[in-house]
Amino acid sequence: MPFWKKKQEFCIVCKRKLEHKYKPHKEWDINGMLCSDCHILKTKEYIMKNQLEKEKQERELNTCSICGIYIKSESEKVKPRWQWNLERGTILCNNCYEKKEKEFEKERNYCSICQTNLKFFRYNPKPNWNIRGQLCRNCWDRRNEIQ
């Protein structure tokens, strides 16, 4: 074949004869050339796919970590207190924040066993007791005698 005659090329998607060739993006995983119509369609698909992924990521960033509710506005987002030992980047809705705050206050201000109000003196349970929160003196002494 003489060098001045071009080899006939066809669109890899629709098999039409190519007058103008368009090279697909690497992310599309298409080997070959595209016609203008197929290139436009593949570009639209690629853009829509990226937009959906972006919306999905945004939705994940705007959901409550405890109840999973979508948080619509920035004013409804609340960051948890560091004392709660939640993962970094956790966001809570107002309801979950209030519940967590009440749990924390109860855990910090009341004995975990007898629920009496802790005054100035508080006792931390030994790790092998598997008790969460703090204890009053009486409960700590009783528990220590058992073990």
- For the chain, what are the domain ranges? 1-58, 62-102, 110-147
pLDDT digit of tens for each residue in the chain (147 aa)? 455 566 778 888 888 888 888 888 888 888 888 888 899 999 999 999 999 998 887 777 788 888 878 877 777 788 888 887 788 878 888 888 888 888 888 878 788 788 788 878 887 888 888 887 788 888 888 887 877
pLDDT, position 40: 92
CA neighbor of 95 nearest in space, from 59, 65, 58:
65
Taking the C-alpha atoms of residue 72 and residue 69, their distance in angstroms, rounded to an integer, is: 9
pLDDT, position 47: 92
Taking the C-alpha atoms of residue 110 and residue 90, their distance in angstroms, rounded to an integer, is: 27
31: left (phi over 0), alpha (psi -120 to 50) or beta: beta
Which spans in the chain are helix H? Answer: 36-61, 94-109, 137-146
pTM of the model: 0.50
